[in-house]
A and B are shown apart, each in its own frame.
Chain A
Amino acid sequence: MTLVPMVTGASAAFWICGTLMVLGALGLVFFRKAVYSALSMAFVMLNLAVLYATMDAPFLVFVQIIVYTGAIMMLFLFVLMLVGVDTPDSVVETLRGQRPAAIIAAVAMGALLIFGIGGSVRGVGSIGLTQANTADGGNVEGIANLLFGRYVFIFELTSALLITAALGAMVLAHRTRIGAKLGQRAHASERMRAYATTGAHPGTLPSSGVYAGDNSIAAPALLPDGSVSEASISQTLTLRGATLDPEDLRKVTADRFAAIEATQEVDE
Chain B
Amino acid sequence: MTNPENVLILASVLFAIGGLGVMLRRNALVAFMCVELMLNSANLAFVTASAMHGGLDGQVASFFVMVVAAAEVVVGLAIIMTIYRTRRTTSVDDANLLKL
Contact = CB atoms under 8 A, between A and B. Distances in A.
Contacts of B20: 29, 102-103, 105-106
B12 A22 contact: no
A172 B76 CA distance: 10
A48 interface: yes
A126 B71 contact: no
The dominant DSSP class at the B interface is: helix
Interface string A1-22: 0000000101101100010011
B74 A143 contact: no
B54 A109 contact: no
B40 A142 contact: no
A113 B5 CA distance: 12
A41 B78 contact: no
Which of A25, A94, A105 has the most chain B CB atoms inside 10 A of its CB?
A: A25
Interface residues of A, number: 86
Interface in A108-137: 109-110, 113-114, 117-118, 121-122, 124-129, 131-133
Contact of A175 (B17, B69, B85): B85
A83 B32 CA distance: 14
B75 interface: yes
A232 to B, nearest CB: 27
Given A48-B44, A72-B70, A128-B51, A79 B81 contact: yes
A168 B12 CA distance: 32
Contacts of B69: 68, 72
Interface in A155-184: 158, 161-162, 164-166, 168-169, 172-173, 175
Interface residues of B, number: 71
B56 A55 contact: no
Contacts of B40: 44-45, 48, 68
A75 B64 contact: no
A63 interface: yes
Given A14-B6, A29-B17, A154-B64, A172 B75 contact: yes
Contacts of B62: 57, 60
A143 B59 contact: yes
B79 interface: yes
Contact of B90 (A38, A83, A103): A83
A168 B66 contact: no
Contacts of B44: 48, 51
Contacts of A44: 14, 37, 40
B29 A10 contact: no
Interface in A131-157: 131-133, 139, 142-143, 146-147, 150-151, 154
A26 interface: yes
B12 A113 contact: yes
22 contacts: A14-B2, A14-B6, A14-B7, A22-B14, A48-B40, A57-B59, A59-B59, A60-B43, A67-B66, A76-B33, A82-B84, A103-B20, A106-B17, A106-B23, A109-B19, A117-B8, A127-B52, A139-B56, A158-B64, A162-B67, A162-B71, A166-B74
Given A67-B70, A68-B40, A143-B60, 13 more contacts: A14-B6, A22-B14, A28-B34, A45-B40, A60-B63, A72-B73, A76-B73, A109-B16, A114-B12, A117-B12, A150-B57, A151-B64, A158-B71
